[in-house]
A and B are shown apart, each in its own frame.
Chain A
Amino acid sequence: MLKIKDLHASVEGKGILKGINLEVGAGEVHAIMGPNGSGKSTLASVIAGNETYEVTAGGIFLDEENIEDLSPEERAHNGVFLSFQYPVEIPGVSVTNFMKTAINESRKAKGLEDMPAKDMLKLIRDKSELLEIDRKFLSRSLNEGFSGGEKKRNEIFQMAMLEPKLAILDETDSGLDIDALRIVANGVNKLKNKDNAIVVITHYQRLLEYIVPDYVHVLYNGKIVKSGTKELALELEEKGYDWIKQEAAV
């Protein structure tokens, strides 16, 4: 589904991604781990089409198609979803209104009419139940005054509403207490099926106990320096990243 080939990206002339290769198939869950500042969020942004970063070499393919020329919104319409590490605030725009706009804009791009209000309401009801979100919460301004945990839960609520083909979750676990983590992970697992794929970016093994990855990759200094199965995550938890750094330095 997702193929990344020798991807190089930079910002203000400074190279951040230095040759990433990654393949994610339908129905798979991949975890990307790595020390702070390795380029994990940058990779997620570049996949989503953030124009702050310049792709200097290599390419990203979605279902065999190079998405280089697609705008961020077109990528979204094609099923790419990013749960942000730091979701932004949009004052005065309610969660409901924001989601309504997002869904209808995607439908418009596909040549569909707006979703009927009745269906929209049902969808909101179902998905807010899935993530155990109080309906009152949905009338609040998007991310304004939300706690760290509320922001993350709201990101996954949006994922549930939009049902993406490829979801990238950037440090969704940070800020969540253990109960919320369980609810959010449970929500993600329910959304998982054989046709979609999930990329989980995290520091900790903790989340991976709930969302079990098929593959684990270690990103360090703009490159994937090691790949393995879920055991690799345990090993990292135990030993830290120093040995990886040493290996990479050789």
Chain B
Amino acid sequence: MIRFDRVTKIYNKGSSPALRDCSVEIDKGEFVFLVGPSGSGKTTFMRLLLREELPTSGRIWAAGRELGRLSNWRVPYLRRNLGCVFQDFRLLANKTAFENVAFVLEVIGRPRPVIESQVNQVLDLVGLGQKKHRFPSELSGGEQQRVAIARAFVNRPLVLLADEPTGNLDPETSIGIMKLLEKINKTGTTIVMATHDAGLVDMMRRRVVELDQGSIVRDQHRGVYG
């Protein structure tokens, strides 16, 4: 599903690598925590998967494609298979929860009736069926993140990338988000989640990949944070 083969990423010539000789393989349906101190390369890992950046050396496969060989015009189609969620939600303020989620399907040209039913379904899944006509400013942080997850998941991606999705949320809300991601994982969606939250990682006991200064220093099944 996802494979990094000796991947090194250097942003600016001369600076030290953000990722250094990383090799890792993630199978379909896995739930992987990406942990490590600030600046260790977690976000870089995600950006490489989304092909927002190309590796300086090494090769990356995602959704059955080698990203280095993917022509530019195919990148959007790659991204349709990769949902992503961020610490800052990135919802559009002038659209309601429903419209934010529907936007994804609109943008990839789905017919209107399909949009209608799929969006309602996914909003029910994240538990926001009742609040779908609210604007982001009228939702709590946890609810906004649920909308963001609904948006990332509505197109049934093969992989869901979550970069510190609970970074802005209190512990209790974070657990709710975790449960939601677990539910999504159970549908067969691979989840890669970067996090600083030791409590969540220890609670879940899933695979943990630890980065430090760009190198993978630990890859542990049913692991803990530190």
Partners in one complex: no
Interface residues of A (CB under 8 A from B): none
Interface residues of B (CB under 8 A from A): none
